[in-house]
Amino acid sequence: MPATLISANASADLLRQRQLVDDLCASGIFPHRPRIEETHISWVLLTGHDAYKIKKSVDLGFLDFSTLEARHFYCNEELRLNRRLAPALYIDVVAIGGTPEQPELSSEPAIEYAVHMKRFPQSHMMDRMLARGLITPGHIDRLATVIASFHGALPPAAASSPFGIIAAIQAAAQQNFEQLPQLLGSADDLALLETVRVASSAEYAACEPLFRQRAAAGFVRECHGDLHLGNIVVLDDMPTPFDGIEFSIALRWIDVISEISFTVMDLLRRGQPQLAWRLLDKYLENTGDYQGCGVLRFYLAYRAMVRAKIAAIRAGQRGTRMKNELKSCRSYLRLANSCLTRRRPALIITHGLPGCGKSTFAQIALERLGAIRIRSDVERKRLFGLSPLADSKAQLDADIYSEEATRLTYAHLHKLARGLIAAGFPVIVDAAFVLHAERESFRALANELGIPCVIASLQTDAALLEERLAQRSHRRNDASEADVEVLKKLQVFYEPLSGEELDAAVTFINNGDVAALRAAEETWKSLDARLL
């Protein structure tokens, strides 16, 4: 049933439900009289430390809560799905019995159902905290870990399922472009929409083989489905996603990259590109799903287009707020266009001894440039089935640090870099590159692909190298296991940059802290110039 065509029976059901909600609030059942928050699909009763969500008896086409049985089912689905990420928030499903005039909680037979949740301060919502400047890089790193762990634990869609198939992906994207022209009146808006449509169609065509590969490889899973910052709350300093999609199987059985794209897109839209690229970097580091970057651009634009459509719909419903919603719609359209606009890729390789700050440089650079970073310390461990922070217990020159393991690691980095460059992203390979042959292999790759290649050489006083390594070993919060013994070994084998390599290098003198490295503006400008 279209949202604009609500039957007389449906209207009567909504009136009865509204009366039930009012009677619940006035009944004295709760220690504190509830405050009611209403959306287009639910009422939420907020009282003390608790919240009770009652689904409206509506059929909007994309969701159908029109029967008591359906509402009961979707209440249980909401509980099941959201307990995966926020078990402390989702308590149970409560039957509401008695009569509409004298309702009773936890009473049978049920005349209605509610999802019982633990209430939290609205000020702790991630979007609101971001607006107040309270979201830190630590929050972003923890969120990336939460999402990556969640995705990693999900079983893949069955090969026979309809989810993740090409037709479904294409239909979802096309729906935005079919609905938006009726909601936009400006010729400029329509022209921009057509530009985005053409670019999206081209990107879809380029991604089609990879969509098939990813579905077959098990990357379509039962995700959260609506992972924007307004559906993440910070509890005890831990970002906690909640309010995932329960009403549509198709909207939550999606490629995991579509899911993380929503959060990345939302950060971009809110003017936080550094946090957006940091989130993606930490997610990829945790999952190793670098292949997903091949469809990232499509999904970033798709998520932006969904929000553009929602903003346009709201513009037609909100009277005095119409201008704000139309402005929001246009900003999403521009963002979608930006995400679909391919930049010239580039390759940056780091160079330096343990403790010189290669990974610190790479972190700053990826946030500045919107680049994808692949890190040798992480990928070496992944090749041998270890997590980034796992203690390999390996001996120097043996096990995962043997000469053969190092050769395999650099070959793996080379393969990943090639794929990411082909996907159209600037790439940072975060590794020591102490040998000329290692560097030359990647410079040859850049030359083959016709892209700029820059060697970011990090230089640090020897005494400071040892001090930093001692501090890092004490903290044990980094993927690198290099200690002073490793440093002394690499100093023996270290091959300085040749004259030809120096011509392609930018040298960062890194004897200060992170802030000092970040503030080396002239050196960063030199790097930027070499990437053109």
User: Tens of pLDDT along 349-403?
Assistant: 999 999 999 999 999 999 999 999 999 999 999 999 999 989 898 877 778 999 9
Query: Is 119 within 8 Å of 49 (Cβ atoms)?
Result: yes
The backbone torsions φ and ψ at residue 269, rounded to the nearest 5 degrees and listed phi first, read -60, -30
Q: Give the H/E segment covering residue 430.
A: strand 427-430
pLDDT category at 39 given cuts 50, 70, 90 is confident
Average the pLDDT over 8-36 and give the result: 88
**323 pLDDT more than 60:** yes
Q: Which of 440, 458, 447 is nearest to 506 (CA)?
A: 458
pLDDT category at 317 given cuts 50, 70, 90 is low
The backbone torsions φ and ψ at residue 457, rounded to the nearest 5 degrees and listed phi first, read -95, 120
pLDDT exceeding 70 applies to what percent of the chain? Answer: 97
pLDDT category at 3 given cuts 50, 70, 90 is very low
Long-range contacts of 491-500 (CB under 8 A, 24+ apart): 491/353, 493/434, 493/435, 494/353, 494/434, 495/434, 495/435, 495/436, 497/351, 497/439, 497/455, 497/457, 498/436
Query: Is 274 within 8 Å of 362 (Cβ atoms)?
Result: no
**7 pLDDT more than 60:** no
DSSP readout, 349-380?
EEE--TTS-HHHHHHHHHHHHT-EEEEHHHHH
For the chain, what is the mean pLDDT? 93
pLDDT for residue 349: 98
Higher-pLDDT residue of 160, 223: 223
The C-alpha angle 386, 389, 390, rounded to 5 degrees, equals 45
Give pLDDT tens digits for 43-63.
999 999 999 999 999 998 888
pLDDT category at 319 given cuts 50, 70, 90 is low
Q: Which residues pair with 455 in a beta bridge?
A: 349, 505
Average the pLDDT over 88-111 and give the result: 94
Q: What does DSSP say about strands 427-430 and 50-55: parallel, antiparallel, or unpaired?
A: unpaired
pLDDT category at 2 given cuts 50, 70, 90 is very low
Q: Which of 336, 338, 342 is nearest to 312 (CA)?
A: 336
List Cβ neighbours of 524 (8 Å cut-off, separation of 6 or more).
Answer: 368
3-state secondary structure of 186: coil
pLDDT for residue 164: 85
Per residue, the 3-state secondary structure of 207-271, as one string, reads HHHHHHHHHHHCCEEECCCCCCHHHEEEECCEEEECCCCCCCHHHHEEEHHHHHHHHHHHHHHCC
What does the alpha-carbon distance between residue 323 and residue 318 come to, in Å, rounded to a whole number? 9
**165 pLDDT more than 90:** no
The C-alpha angle 484, 488, 492, rounded to 5 degrees, equals 165
- Alpha helix stretches (DSSP H) within 122-186: 126-131, 137-153, 166-179
Q: Which of 113, 105, 36, 109 is nearest to 69 (CA)?
A: 113
Higher-pLDDT residue of 403, 100: 403
Task: Return the structure tokens found at 214.
Answer: 């990813």
